[in-house]
Structure 1
Amino acid sequence: MSIRLISFLGTGNYENACYRWNNESYSSKYVVFAIAKMLQNIESQKNIEVVLLATDKAWQAHGQSVCDTFAQADLPTPQRRTIPDGASQDELWNQFEIILDVLQSSDDVVYIDITHGFRAQPFFASGVIQYLQSVFNRSEDVHVIYGEYNRNQPENSRIWDLTPFVELSEWSRSLLLFLKTGQAQGVVEPTRKIGRDLKKKWAAEGRQGQPTDLDQLAKLLEKFSDDFITVRTGCLLLGPESSSQQLVNMMEKARDEVIQILPPLGKVVDMVIERLKPLCGATCLSDPQGQAALQYLSMLYFKMGRIAEACATLREGWITKYADSRSDKPGTVDFDKDAREEAEKRFFERHENLGKQISQLRNDIQHAGYRKDPMPPKTIINQFLQLHSQWVRETQSTLTQS
């Protein structure tokens, strides 16, 4: 396994400095060389490959000198990738494509040094990373670093690890996607990565005990997502062991520790908790609290564009309003199929026309429009909203009467 170190070469007059990073230090006027030497000690079992992104002017100014510096230290000669000046829109896109190719062509650990990136180049590097994460699912082992030249104390110049900001972007984007779709696949590994970073932070600070187990949070995200996308209503909603309640509990527990690693994530975690809390607390689904949870779940599916799941939950929720204790806890040992059929019969006796409308809506979607005259999409959407509003009104009316 190897490390690819990608760095920008500029035209500036670089001065000698002692760069410090991860308890390592090295003096050079070329920050990329200092980083390569320190990586050689930090990652001693891995080969280091260096790629320099440079315009023609930058290469004329420093190319031969930096290559000689590497050669004198017995390090592999850096590969040069020529980039345009970025003087036009086409050249800017060309820069983007080149950075993308350099990143995408490596399957190994990548470090991107943006110290001497000029104009939009550091921004492009960040954009390329996000593009790779979103389109090609490349998320692990990409690090962003920056060498801060200390003009007053050159012997105390630092290398800053900016990777947490990349991770913040990835985790935030994945969590927001989870909120929009219910799919947790993209957020599981970033969650485990933050857990590993948290354990390292505790160890470095000499703290006693163990931080919150974010591996468990990742598992609960997966469990909730599985229940949600397969419409396992009882598993999602019922009791303290429901996947919704367990996930909310774990997120509340982990929140303060997560923001130690990535502080802005606190707001995103709060958004997830706020979104899921209305699904929690039901012990059965026929009482007001259970009905409210079902109504919220049905609308949540609708807002996520999961119309089939929304309509199925709508139908079963209406029927559950007329269920007793033998048929209002799906997925439990107490659930009785015959009692459920009795509840369905009571619902249709009370709401014959409404029951037909709900069944037609659900069946039209379930059969994927395989009819001579399937409902138009707008009709499906409008009927769902109408039937859902009626369900909410009747539940509230029942509460008022009682």
Structure 2
Amino acid sequence: MTMGRHVLLSFLGLSDYEYCFYTYEGKTSSYTRFVQTAVYELLRGEQPMDVIVFATKEARERNGEDRLRGEEQLEGLMTAFRRIAPEANVKMVDIDNGQDERTNWRLFDRIMSEIGEGDTIYFDITHSFRSIPFVALIVLNYARLVKKAEIGAIVYGWFEVLGRPMDVKQMPPEERLAPIVNLTSMASLLDWTNGVDQFLRTGDAALIRALTEKENRHVFCDPTASRELRNEVAALNKLAKQLDQTEKAIRTCRSLDIDEEVRKFREQLARVRSAPTEAVKPLVPLLDEMEKKYAIFSDDPIINSWQAVRWCLNHGLIQSALTMLEENAVTAICRAFSLDERKEEVRKDIHSTIQIVLRRIPRDEWRVHSPELVERMANALDSYREELKPFGQIKELRNDINHAGTRPNPLPAEKFMPKAVALFEQFSSFFERMSMLAKSMSK
């Protein structure tokens, strides 16, 4: 497997850049007109780094090579690299001077073509102009997805802190110290945007959990981080873990565990809310959305088992919805009649009882574990026969999807969701009656 490169991506403009020293994390660059040489010096580390500079024809002619400014000989970018970092592999790439949609797409293609599989990208935005920073950030996000690229750093050479160029020209070299600002943390907003979008659309909190774990590791490795900050990040990390665990319990149809996972989630959410924090800023505005996602669950376990199906349907989890709709109907009966909902033989007998009630199967055709239990439950459920009618269709639909379309006359894919939603709604009265029965039996 080929290892990706470390690559500095930068842009060259038309300005008459002045010489200065750039500083970064206590280090100082060589005296240079070009932030590109400074970024290369200060961020390269032990790994070799390729340099790719995107420039219009005008920028290349003005700043790519040496030229005269009046009587002053100005060093071009290529000469500066030969002087400061002769080992650097520098490539100039032509880009168009324009702002229309076609030009932006060509720029997108040019940048993407320079990024290899698994590259670590150092992006210098100092001389990006007009829409270039926007396009480049989209490229970075896209390259991370399709080329498995990583962001090493996003930096900006803050030359303006020294004042106007005409004033800088009057300053002695030792006073020309311009910081390189690390903006990499802002790139995490791209990840958070994806994570938040994923959670809101699908309920999947896996990416949010990964991001909070990353932030947790970062804070605990930072010796300057306060105890309060560490506690806040740890609490948010624990909340994200529980959010992910709750979602996974629903997604994988852990139907008997959902109530407990929702309870744990709400407890952790309350802990976080009781100590307001901005430790992981993109996560804080999500707290209300998290609460809304699980507001459908109450302290009624039977109704919750029905709402879990709603949650699946809301997030496009048709197979999970059908599985839980069938199994949760059995669970609701067990809970209403105080049967052991976790005992396999009991569940099988309840499945059989429902079919016996719906199809009026005579006793001599029963194939059950406990005929006494089945007879008792058949008599008890007979008055619920009308509400139980969707059960057979649900079972058939579940079998169709679980057999991966291999059975005779499989249902077309687009038919599953509307049928599942209709059966879910039709079955609501049964869950409501089981809930009412459970409450009356507990009095």
TM over 0.5: yes
Q: How big is the alpha-carbon RMSD for the aligned residues of Structure 1 and Structure 2?
A: 3.6
Match of 1:21 in 2: 24
Indicate how the Cα distance of structure 1 residues 364 and 137 shifts in structure 2: closer, same or farther if over 3 A, else same. Answer: farther
1-side partners of 2:191 and 2:228: how far apart? 30
Match of 1:138 in 2: 148
Q: TM-score of the superposition, structure 2-length normalised?
A: 0.73
| Contact preservation (8 Å) 1:182, 1:229 | no
1-side partners of 2:431 and 2:335: how far apart? 19
Matched AA of 1:82? D
Match of 1:267 in 2: 285
Secondary structure of the corresponding residue to residue 294 of structure 1: helix
Match of 1:235 in 2: 257
Match of 1:285 in 2: none
Match of 1:363 in 2: 396
Match of 1:292 in 2: 303
**Cα distance, 1:183 vs structure 2:** 4.0
Q: TM-score of the superposition, structure 1-length normalised?
A: 0.79
1-side partners of 2:149 and 2:205: how far apart? 15
Match of 1:390 in 2: 429
- Could you give the per-residue CA deviations for residues 64-91 of structure 1, whole angstroms, max 9, x where no partner exists? 2111111112341421111111344322
2-side partners of 1:249 and 1:131: how far apart? 37
1-side partners of 2:147 and 2:208: how far apart? 11
Secondary structure of the corresponding residue to residue 219 of structure 2: helix
Are 1:169 and 2:170 matched, yes or no? no
**Cα distance, 1:124 vs structure 2:** 0.4
- Could you give the per-residue CA deviations for residues 144-201 of structure 1, whole angstroms, max 9, x where no partner exists? 2222222545635332222222212212312431343344554454333222332244
Highest Rg: 1 or 2? 2
2-side partners of 1:108 and 1:373: how far apart? 46
Indicate how the Cα distance of structure 1 residues 400 and 251 shifts in structure 2: closer, same or farther if over 3 A, else same. Answer: closer
Where does 1:318-357 land on structure 2 (aligned, <5 Å)? 318-324=329-335, 335-341=342-348, 343-344=350-351, 345=353, 346=377, 348-357=381-390
Q: How many residues align?
A: 380
Match of 2:64 in 1: 63
**Cα distance, 1:278 vs structure 2:** 5.2
2-side partners of 1:47 and 1:236: how far apart? 51
Where does 1:111-190 land on structure 2 (aligned, <5 Å)? 111-133=122-144, 135-136=145-146, 138=148, 140-153=150-163, 155-190=176-211
Match of 2:361 in 1: none
Matched AA of 1:90? R
Matched AA of 2:289? M
Matched AA of 1:9? L
- Could you give the per-residue CA deviations for residues 288-321 of structure 1, whole angstroms, max 9, x where no partner exists? x212322221111001111222122223333323
2-side partners of 1:194 and 1:183: how far apart? 19
The worse-fitting range, judged by mean Cα deviation, of 13-22 and 319-328 is: 319-328
Secondary structure of the corresponding residue to residue 122 of structure 1: helix
Secondary structure of the corresponding residue to residue 117 of structure 1: coil
Indicate how the Cα distance of structure 1 residues 130 and 251 shifts in structure 2: closer, same or farther if over 3 A, else same. Answer: farther
Indicate how the Cα distance of structure 1 residues 61 and 249 shifts in structure 2: closer, same or farther if over 3 A, else same. Answer: farther
Indicate how the Cα distance of structure 1 residues 382 and 48 shifts in structure 2: closer, same or farther if over 3 A, else same. Answer: closer
| Contact preservation (8 Å) 1:18, 1:156 | yes
Indicate how the Cα distance of structure 1 residues 199 and 384 shifts in structure 2: closer, same or farther if over 3 A, else same. Answer: same
1-side partners of 2:227 and 2:200: how far apart? 33
**Cα distance, 1:234 vs structure 2:** 2.2
Secondary structure of the corresponding residue to residue 264 of structure 1: coil
Secondary structure of the corresponding residue to residue 314 of structure 1: helix
| Contact preservation (8 Å) 2:32, 2:80 | no
Indicate how the Cα distance of structure 1 residues 182 and 205 shifts in structure 2: closer, same or farther if over 3 A, else same. Answer: closer
Identity of aligned residues (%): 20
Are 1:93 and 2:100 matched, yes or no? no
| Contact preservation (8 Å) 1:191, 1:217 | no
**Cα distance, 1:379 vs structure 2:** 5.0
Give the one of 184, 204, 212 matched to 2:224.
Answer: 204
Unaligned runs of 5+ residues in structure 2 are 66-75, 169-175, 354-376
| Contact preservation (8 Å) 2:387, 2:427 | no
Unaligned runs of 5+ residues in structure 1 are 283-288
Give the one of 100, 104, 107 matched to 2:118.
Answer: 107
Match of 2:366 in 1: none
Secondary structure of the corresponding residue to residue 259 of structure 1: coil
